Amino acid sequence: MHNGRTMPNVSTPLSWALLSGLAIWSAASPALGAPNPTHAAACVAALKSRAEPLAQRVREGDAAAEAELLPIVTESFAFIGVSYKQGLRSEQANELLKQAEAQQAKMPQAELVKVQDACQVEGRQLFAEASVIERLFVSRAAQSRVQRLKRPPQPAANPSPNPNPN
């Protein structure tokens, strides 16, 4: 049935090749695409829990622990960067992270280790697939975080009473 619209001529080999390529790319994109925000938050939580003991060792002066810590933090930031590109912002990201941390707190240790291992591999892959600019941003953010993790935790600031009430 003809509806009055002109249909593109797909009888040429080049047209078929282009259409086939688009179809393959479209079908492959979800499988090769970025993790959804919930999955990314789960991986950030898993990698955060893996990084915390190393950060403590770094604060205690263990220089070798820093070499182990940086890749974990970098892979975590790869997930954060992907989520940011997808439009996720701090408030929602923090809520997803809290939910993921609560779920992982209930996991048996062996299962958590498997999640951490899988997330670390996936984070490494995300980082490798990122553009040069994205890798630079992620690397700098990770290095900055490691520098902050080296410092002992600061106590919460208590507002001091105003000495001059006037």
User: What pLDDT does residue 67 have?
Assistant: 95
* pTM score over 0.85: no
CB 71 within 8 A of CB 46: no
- Which among 28, 20, 26, 126 is positioned nearest to 81, based on CA atoms? 126
pLDDT 10s per residue in the chain (166 long)? 444 444 344 344 433 333 333 333 333 333 347 899 999 999 999 999 999 999 999 999 998 999 999 999 999 999 999 999 999 999 999 999 999 999 999 999 999 999 999 999 999 999 999 999 999 999 999 999 999 988 877 776 665 555 554 5
Contact predicate 44/122, CB 8 Å: no
* Nearest-angstrom CA–CA distance, 159 and 166: 17
**Contacts with 126 (C-beta within 8 Å, 6 or more apart), sequence order:** 34, 35, 75, 78, 79, 81, 82
